Amino acid sequence: MLNAEVKRELTEILGSSYCKDDPQSLVTHSYDGTPMLQSLPELVIYPENTKQVSQVMKVLNHYKIPLIGRGSGTNLCGGTVPVEGGVVMVMHRMNQILEVDIENLTATVQPGLNTKKFSQHVEALGLFYPPDPSSMSISTLGGNIAECSGGLRGLKYGTTKDYVIGLEAVLANGEVIRTGGKLMKDVAGYDVTKLLVGSEGTLAIITEATLKLIPPPQYKKTMLAMYSDLYDAARTVSKIIESRMIPATLEFLDNATLQVVDDYAQLGLPREMEAILIIEQDGDKGSVERDIARITEICHSEQAKQVSVAGSLEEAEKLLTARRSAFTALARLKPTTILEDATVPRSKIADMVLEINRIAKKYNVQICTFGHAGDGNLHPTATTDVRDTDEIHRVEAAFAEIFEATIRLGGTITGEHGVGVVKAPFLEWKVGPAGIEIMKGIKHAFDPNNILNPGKIFAKESRKRVVIQRG
Amino acid sequence: MLNAEVKRELTEILGSSYCKDDPQSLVTHSYDGTPMLQSLPELVIYPENTKQVSQVMKVLNHYKIPLIGRGSGTNLCGGTVPVEGGVVMVMHRMNQILEVDIENLTATVQPGLNTKKFSQHVEALGLFYPPDPSSMSISTLGGNIAECSGGLRGLKYGTTKDYVIGLEAVLANGEVIRTGGKLMKDVAGYDVTKLLVGSEGTLAIITEATLKLIPPPQYKKTMLAMYSDLYDAARTVSKIIESRMIPATLEFLDNATLQVVDDYAQLGLPREMEAILIIEQDGDKGSVERDIARITEICHSEQAKQVSVAGSLEEAEKLLTARRSAFTALARLKPTTILEDATVPRSKIADMVLEINRIAKKYNVQICTFGHAGDGNLHPTATTDVRDTDEIHRVEAAFAEIFEATIRLGGTITGEHGVGVVKAPFLEWKVGPAGIEIMKGIKHAFDPNNILNPGKIFAKESRKRVVIQRG
């Protein structure tokens, strides 16, 4: 119980300006990017350094009070909603780039640093940090690490996990550990670094990260291919990969998404197309030109109705920005937007889209689909209205059936959004009861009192999603 | 205790031909690639499939008898020496390529499959599996996964961990789990896949792995640069990386190693050089030619005495084979060869080599150094004689001081060989007491009875290295 004594101890550590329990602060931190989910914290705190985080943790562990680490709350799995109350710890004050090491091609950063700001900073130094979640203009690196964020470049460059090589983290008991380092190889014991990436704030609080940087590609080219048949688009994806090419980006938008995005971004896309692919290749000029030429051929041979290569960087950027804004564009349609994250082996993309369409029809709900086709990572997105209880139930039933189809096709319930609250009831479908038990064992080893982001990843039978109205 | 009843139960599962306790079998499996370490198992078994592994595990967990998984035993950390007795389980019968999936660019394999055989198989299909540990002509993929093996291509392509995307594994209680899949992205719960890679057989027995394949580079070129000053070579490494180039291979050999390798491989190298670099770049022809030209310039500007680009694939292969044979070549010098695995940030390569040389002189022992300079992964190698007890003690003291220097320079005690028995006493230097506690917690969650490869990773004060004579 967060009583006056606990508040006094926390205020002593943080100072009264960084320890807030006024209604505005509590309400502002009662939800995140996830629709239909809200729960009030008892306190919101803003630590300045690792020492404060450690001191806070000791107090909360002693009193067994939940601690929810939070960056900008852009996640879509309810990852930062304080479903069991407690303290929300916002990392925005710890937002420094501590070092960019040019000799080792690493950067050391604090968790509250904005992703885009960091990305641009290293770009100005002639370096490249590939992870580019669609929320990057708002999100923090700490949040990206906690959720193992992906993005449009995952196919060729991997996700956040592939770039985190060292961490400083505070354990539930307040102890500070350091993992990895400025090291391209490290097998000293279990890989705690990679275990913490994507652990959704349930194992430790990340207070510093060392990230791997790479030389940027020297050239890139973006193209668009449009299809009147979904299978043609999906076959194009398979053919490109089979032809031993890994594009930097290989994005898919279905007809419904296409229309909404075109309304929003005014691209003048042919709205009758069943599917479009946005394809980007980067690297050496010669190989990019060759790949784009070969991909163009493949698109044509797979019955693309229209294929065009962006004539300028601006035109290319416009296409990718349109794709990045798919969520925002869809959110304009109806008051409630539920963006999901089903991932299948990339050879199953067409089957999965057909399944999604079949299921949407069965439950009479509107689901648009777009996503990272090259990764097999699709984002079926329902546009609905929380006030229509009957429709919301149908949407939820449809998504459950979509996850079932994902698993059936050899996929997973989440490719980049995380489990959080939203996917917790489905986790066992992917990892099995023995997998859940092992994960619970890991959780217990790190956090025996279950104070770190409780209620996430592991489902309780009794959980109810709290539905609030939006828009 | 492995009594007659346990043997009877195991024989029932495996059949009597695959359950051996004759002296030859026991002695053959009492040691591995690590010098000065030997301990007899009580039984050697050869399972045929996952079901048998699961049944065996249930029996051994019930009786609390150690189980040591083993591929070809090429590791250099004592990882497969049964230091607490028990059963050695050799995975050689489970050696099939179950599938190469061309559409998804994945392969599914059994753990006993030989690394080189697999590598050549996918190469013939026009695909590429980059991890190339020097032991690859003998090692197994299961062993590579258990130790997270590196190799010469780690700098550009990463290590085994970066290519394992799904696993089937048998837990200590006999339950079978499946992690990941043919998925480029999967954030469904904790990353048990990456946790098992490099866990040295202490958390679970891997019975199947899904590996990521990539398109092969189309072109490669190999070059040699020779230096009369160590710092010039080290500066060359830094300058290459700073110039935003990541070569496929960037290997370093010091003078002592150079001489031995030249004796062995008859390359006609100038034996007075203090250091040589073997550099390979691969990729698109245009970018390879450009990188090799720029690297040549850097070598010259950093005072290389001689720079030569291999004129043919055969010549290039000869250079790399010479490097790969460094261990074998050094092993000819004296009866006992101790190959170590210190890794530092790559900017600290020169400092580390100087430290190694200083320490070797201080303890009056012979240590040659070679390794993956681009990774900062050095292999200081002592050539000695176990029968010379005094010298062996000095060698051990020298290595302890080398590990201390590694940590001081921001490095790690092992970059690719693993902790095993050999590095266990030093693990705390890298990960700290809190790090050890967390790792022990993870171990306990997977293996509460401590039957899986006991005595590895975590040091007991009481352990003694059993010194036997060789050569």
How many beta carbons lie within 10 A of that of residue B49, not counting itself?
A: 13
What whole-number distance in Å separates Cα of residue A149 and Cα of residue A146?
A: 8
Q: How many whole angstroms from its chain centre is CA A86?
A: 24
Residue in chain A nearest B183 by alpha carbon: A345
Helices (H), A197-312: 230-242, 255-265, 285-301
| Domains of chain A as residue ranges with CATH | 97-212 (3.30.465.10), 219-328 (3.30.70.3450), 333-417 (3.30.70.2740)
Residue in chain B nearest A216 by alpha carbon: B244
CB contact under 8 A, A242 and B176: no
**B101 touching chain A per CB within 8 A:** yes
Give which of A344, A343, A220, A223 is closest to A277, Cα–Cα: A223
How many beta carbons lie within 10 A of that of residue A239, not counting itself?
A: 18
**Is residue A349 a contact partner of residue A378, using CB atoms and an 8 Å limit?**
yes
What whole-number distance in Å separates Cα of residue B424 and Cα of residue A460?
A: 39
What whole-number distance in Å separates Cα of residue B437 and Cα of residue A446?
A: 9
The nearest CA of chain B is from the CA of A266 a distance in Å of 31
Nearest to A246 among B155, B215, B412 (CB): B215
The whole-chain average pLDDT of chain B stands at 93
Q: DSSP string of B275-336?
A: EEEEEEEEESHHHHHHHHHHHHHHHHHTT-SEEEE-SSHHHHHHHHHHHHTHHHHHHTTSSE
CB contact under 8 A, B188 and A438: no
Beta strands in A39-161 (DSSP E): 43-45, 67-70, 87-90, 97-101, 106-109
What whole-number distance in Å separates Cα of residue A369 and Cα of residue A381?
A: 6
What pLDDT score does B265 carry? 82
**Is residue B77 a contact partner of residue B418, using CB atoms and an 8 Å limit?**
yes
Collapsed DSSP state (helix, strand, coil) of residue B221: strand
Nearest to B182 among A203, A283, A345 (CB): A345
So what's the ipTM on this one? 0.95
Give which of B93, B67, B86 is closest to B21, Cα–Cα: B86
What whole-number distance in Å separates Cα of residue B232 and Cα of residue A447?
A: 49
Tell me the average confidence (pLDDT) per consecutive run of 10 residues in chain A, 471 residues long.
93 97 97 95 98 98 98 96 98 98 96 98 97 95 97 93 98 98 96 98 98 95 94 92 92 92 85 93 93 98 95 86 85 92 92 94 95 93 95 94 94 95 93 96 98 95 38 35
CB contact under 8 A, A435 and B189: yes
**B418 touching chain A per CB within 8 A:** yes
How many beta carbons lie within 10 A of that of residue A5, not counting itself?
A: 11
**Is residue B231 a contact partner of residue B237, using CB atoms and an 8 Å limit?**
no
What pLDDT score does B461 carry? 60
In the numeric block, which tokens belong to residue A100? 């960019």
What pLDDT score does A324 carry? 83
The per-residue pLDDT for range B318-342, each reduced to its tens digit, is 888 888 888 888 988 999 999 999 9
In the numeric block, which tokens belong to residue A146? 């906690």
How many beta carbons lie within 10 A of that of residue A216, not counting itself?
A: 16
**A430 touching chain B per CB within 8 A:** yes
Collapsed DSSP state (helix, strand, coil) of residue B106: strand
Residue B232: pLDDT over 70: yes
Residue in chain B nearest A378 by alpha carbon: B185
What whole-number distance in Å separates Cα of residue B438 and Cα of residue B442?
A: 6
CB contact under 8 A, A445 and B444: yes
Instruction: List, as ranges, residues 366-405 from B with C-beta within 8 Å of A.
Output: 372, 374-377
Size of interface A-B (CB pairs under 8 A): 275
What pLDDT score does B269 carry? 83
CB contact under 8 A, B154 and A199: no
**B411 touching chain A per CB within 8 A:** yes
How many beta carbons lie within 10 A of that of residue B330, not counting itself?
A: 24
**A177 touching chain B per CB within 8 A:** yes
Collapsed DSSP state (helix, strand, coil) of residue A156: helix
CB contact under 8 A, B187 and A418: yes
Task: State the angle between helix axes of A285-301 and B285-301 in degrees (0 to 180), rounded to the nearest 10.
Answer: 170
Residues in contact with A80: Cβ distance below 8 Å, sequence separation at least 6, in sequence order = A29, A32, A68, A69, A70, A71, A73, A88, A143, A201
**B449 touching chain A per CB within 8 A:** no
CA A104-A282-A164 angle, to 5 degrees, is 35
The per-residue pLDDT for range B5-53, each reduced to its tens digit, is 999 999 999 999 999 999 999 999 999 999 999 999 999 999 999 999 9
Site of tokens 């937007």: A337
Instruction: Tell me the sheet residues that pair with A45.
Output: A19, A89
Nearest to B178 among A162, A190, A432 (CB): A432
What pLDDT score does B177 carry? 98
**A108 touching chain B per CB within 8 A:** no
Nearest to B245 among A215, A418, A427 (CB): A215
Residue in chain A nearest B216 by alpha carbon: A244
Residue B463: pLDDT over 80: no
The nearest CA of chain A is from the CA of B387 a distance in Å of 30
Nearest to A191 among B185, B198, B214 (CB): B198
Instruction: List, as ranges, residues 33-72 from A with C-beta within 8 Å of B.
Output: none
Site of tokens 């890989």: A191
How many beta carbons lie within 10 A of that of residue B68, not counting itself?
A: 30
Nearest to A183 among B199, B242, B411 (CB): B411
**B346 touching chain A per CB within 8 A:** yes
- Tell me which chain A residues have a C-beta less than 8 angstroms from the C-beta of B171: 434, 438
- Tell me which chain B residues have a C-beta less than 8 angstroms from the C-beta of A166: none
Site of tokens 């229309």: A259
CB contact under 8 A, A191 and B194: yes
What pLDDT score does A391 carry? 97
- Tell me which chain A residues have a C-beta less than 8 angstroms from the C-beta of B176: 434
Residue B3: pLDDT over 80: yes
Residue in chain B nearest A185 by alpha carbon: B415
CB contact under 8 A, B445 and A441: yes
What pLDDT score does B470 carry? 37
CB contact under 8 A, B416 and A345: no
- Tell me which chain A residues have a C-beta less than 8 angstroms from the C-beta of B201: none
* Site from B108, B132, B171, B184 to mutate, A interface, most A CB atoms within 10 angstroms: B184
The nearest CA of chain B is from the CA of A4 a distance in Å of 31
Which of these ranges, A82-86, A327-331, B212-216, B385-389, has the smallest mean pLDDT?
A327-331
Helices (H) and strands (E) in chain A, counts: 15, 17
The nearest CA of chain B is from the CA of A247 a distance in Å of 11
- Tell me which chain A residues have a C-beta less than 8 angstroms from the C-beta of B414: 186-188
- A40: left (phi > 0), else alpha (psi -120 to 50), else beta? beta
Residue B467: pLDDT over 70: no
- Tell me which chain B residues have a C-beta less than 8 angstroms from the C-beta of A211: none
Site of tokens 């866990």: B199
**Is residue A164 a contact partner of residue A145, using CB atoms and an 8 Å limit?**
yes
Residue B114 is classified by DSSP as B
What pLDDT score does A461 carry? 60
- Tell me which chain B residues have a C-beta less than 8 angstroms from the C-beta of A349: none
What pLDDT score does A271 carry? 87
Collapsed DSSP state (helix, strand, coil) of residue B134: coil
Question: Average of pLDDT values for B170-189?
Answer: 97
Site of tokens 């753990």: B111
